[in-house]
Amino acid sequence: MQKIDRLPNELNKLTEAIISNDDVVLSKLYTTNYSKVKDYILKNSGSGDDAKDIFQEAFIAVWRNVQTGKFLPDSETVFAGYLYKVSKYKWIDFLRKGQRTKVISFEETDAIELNGFEFLKEDDEQYLGSIQKNFLKLGNTCKEVLIKFYYKRLPLKTIATNYNWTEATAKNNKYRCLQQLREFLK
């Protein structure tokens, strides 16, 4: 059996902030790294919209790898370096797939070393895409509860207070929402 991707028990400060989806840290990592990627894409036959799309997909790919313990950046510089490389890789991949006529030289392509950076397996990628779509079918309360618990990592007690529930109700409702999502995915 393949090892399950899981975070180690002890994390450095930056990784912990990314895992906890700290808005301040994530938005800073996003806003401070965008311009460099945008410049690269604009210089390589892309548009502003391309830059935004590619950067966001790269940002999500790097974030996913932090969430699953595959990448544990110990500084913003390390994070920025990876994000830039992944963005370049994604842009070249996009050009290579023939979605654009102009193709960057092989020298340029070969220069991108991802240093062991792994993207998700295609099956997992597809399953995640399906989760994105089916998540939208959930009721608003379910969506909020799941985001509050898993993304914002709010304690059940806080979620219960928000909805005037008992903690046990919050726990059961969270489980029920997750089960509903599983059903949608079948």
Q: For the residues of 140-158, what is the DSSP string, one character each?
A: HHHHHHHIIIIIS---HHH
Which 132-161 residues touch another protein, going by CB under 8 A? 132, 135, 141, 143, 146-147, 150-152
- At which residue do the structure tokens 């985001």 appear? 147
Instruction: Give the nearest distance from C-beta 111 to another protein in angstroms.
Output: 26
Helix 156-163 / helix 167-185 crossing angle, nearest 10 deg: 100
The total of other beta-carbon atoms located within 10 Å of residue 122's CB is: 8
Instruction: Give the nearest distance from C-beta 31 to another protein in angstroms.
Output: 6
Task: Report the residue number, 114 or 128, with the smaller CB distance to another protein.
Answer: 128
Task: Report the residue number, 96 or 133, with the smaller CB distance to another protein.
Answer: 133
Instruction: Give the nearest distance from C-beta 65 to another protein in angstroms.
Output: 11
Q: How far apart are CA 102 and CA 109, in angstroms?
A: 13
Region binding another protein by CB under 8 A among candidate stretches 49-57, 78-86, 87-95, 99-107: 49-57
Element (H, E) at 77: helix 76-94
Fill in the per-residue mask, 162 to 181: x = in contact with another protein (CB under 8 A), - = not in contact: ---xx-xx-xxx-xx-x--x
Binding another protein by CB under 8 A: which of 27, 75, 158, 162?
27
Fill in the per-residue mask, 69 to 108: x = in contact with another protein (CB under 8 A), - = not in contact: ----------------------------------------
Whether the CB-CB separation of 151 and 21 falls below 8 Å is answered with yes
Q: Is 127 in the site for another protein (CB under 8 A)?
A: yes
Q: How far apart are CA 122 and CA 126, in angstroms?
A: 6
Task: Report the residue number, 78 or 179, with the smaller CB distance to another protein.
Answer: 179
Report the amino acid identity of residue 117. F
Count of residues that bind another protein according to CB under 8 A: 55
Which tokens hold the place of 129? 């895409």
